Amino acid sequence: MNTAIEKVLVLNATGKAGGNVCRALIESGFDVYGTTRANKKSLADKGIKPVFCNYTVRSDLDKALQQTGAKKVFAMTDYFGAAKSNADEEIRQGQNAINAAKAASVDHYVFMSVADAEFFNEHVKHLKAKPILEQYLHDSGIPYSILRPCAFLRILMTLKLESIKERCG
């Protein structure tokens, strides 16, 4: 019987969704490493082992997987934050993560996408990357799961506020 605690690397661990995933994994007995581009203390205070990682730099992802020894990855991309509202950048960051996971022979890769991803295209800019990354993950050959939540209230509120600013100045 293998009693080793499984290591999981959570990408984008400082966000709301990533933080909640980390908490649930810790409560379930996993050894959780979370990526951050800045504040390591905020993760460590929650029992998450912080790992510096900038998704635009592929070698950062390779290093994070090598340092942690994690064979499981929970990943999501962030159009509004890390990708600076640029779908092509979000795609590049997602592909970097998938390529690094493949190079590290990850056992399982979980990607948080969006419901009905296959119906989105360039006209829905903040969702354009999701179906492209789903297909890229599928084609990678890595064992994977794709989660497809229907919406996040925070994103809807952000879009609504942007719309109000545009109309009202």
3-class secondary-structure state, position 17: helix
Which ranges of the chain would DSSP assign to H, the alpha helix? 16-27, 40-44, 58-68, 87-103, 129-140, 153-168
C-alpha to C-alpha distance for 129 and 120, rounded to whole angstroms: 9
CATH of domain 7-168: 3.40.50.720
Show me where the domains of the chain are located.
7-168
Cβ atoms of residues 18 and 76 within 8 Å: yes
pLDDT by residue for the chain (169 residues), tens digit each?
456 789 999 999 988 889 999 999 999 999 999 998 876 777 888 889 999 998 889 999 999 999 999 999 999 987 766 667 788 899 999 999 999 999 999 999 999 998 887 776 667 777 888 999 999 999 999 999 999 887 655 555 565 566 556 666 5
Name the residue with tokens 């800019």: 125
